Amino acid sequence: MKKVIAFKTILLTLFMTGTAWSTGVFTGTNITFHGRVIAPACVAIPTPGTPDIDFHQISTRDLYSSQKTKPIHFVIHLQSCNASVMKTATVTFSGSENLALPNHLKITPQGAGGASGVGIALEENNGTPIQLNKPTSATNLATANAEIAFNTYLEAEPQALKNSAIHVGKFTSSVNYIVNYQ
C-alpha cells in the first residue's frame, strides 16, 4: 500500500510540475509568399533634374497675353533595353486633374496667397497633347538605350483669363508615370 501511495504521490507531483512548466502557448500560422518574375524590357532613368521641373518665375502679363508659358523639355531615358523582350514603349501619366482644364494637372498653392488660375499641360515631343491616364504614342526600342521626350508648360484657365483672376504665388504639382512595354 505504501508503494501505491508513493507512486500516486510521484504521479501527482509530475502532473503538477508538468503544468507549471508548460505555461507558454505555442501557436502557428501559415506564411504566404508572393512575387513575380519578370523579363524587363528596359530600365527607366529620368533626366537629371527631373522629377523636379522648375518653371521659375512666370509673369502674369505673359500668361494673360499668351495663355501659356514656353514649353520645358524633359526626357525619360530607357537603358539596357532588350528588343527581343519588347519592341515599343508608351508612357501613361496620372495625377490630380485641373477641373477647369481637362487633361492638365492641378496645382497646389503653397502658403497663404499661393498661385491659382493655371494648370500644367504635358505634351509629346512632337506637340501632341497628352491625355492623363491614357498611353502616349509608342516609341521604338530598337537600340539598347532609348529616349522618350516630352514637354510641359503652364496654361491659364479660361475663367481666370476672362475674369483677370490669375493669382501670383508659389505652387507645386506632381505626376506619376508608368512605362508600358509592348
Would 4 be classed as within a structural domain? no
Bridge partners of 45? 77
Report d(CA 135, CA 92) in Å as an integer: 4
Looking up residue 86, the CATH number of its domain turns out to be: 2.60.40.1090
109 within some domain: yes
Could you report the per-residue pLDDT of 105-150, keeping only the tens digit for each?
Answer: 999 999 888 999 999 999 999 999 999 999 999 999 888 888 999 9
Specify if 51 maps to a domain. Answer: yes
Order across the sheet with 139-140: list the strands: 139-140, 88-94, 176-181
pLDDT-above-70 percentage for the chain:
82
Judge whether 30 lies within some domain.
Answer: no
- In terms of residue numbers, what domain contains 131? 43-181
Is pTM beyond 0.85? Reply is no
25 within domain boundaries = no
Residue 49 falls inside a structural domain: yes
pLDDT band per the 50, 70, 90 thresholds, residue 24: low
- Is residue 2 domain-resident? no
Per-residue pLDDT of 49-108, as tens digits, reads 556 899 999 999 999 999 999 999 998 889 888 888 889 999 999 999 999 999 999 999
Residue 7 belongs to some domain of the structure: no
Within 10 angstroms of residue 74's Cβ, the number of other Cβ atoms is: 18
163: exposed, middle or buried (C-beta count within 10 Å: 0-12, 13-18, 19+)?
exposed
Q: Is the dihedral of CA 123, 57, 155, 93 positive or negative?
A: positive
Number of structural domains in the chain: 1
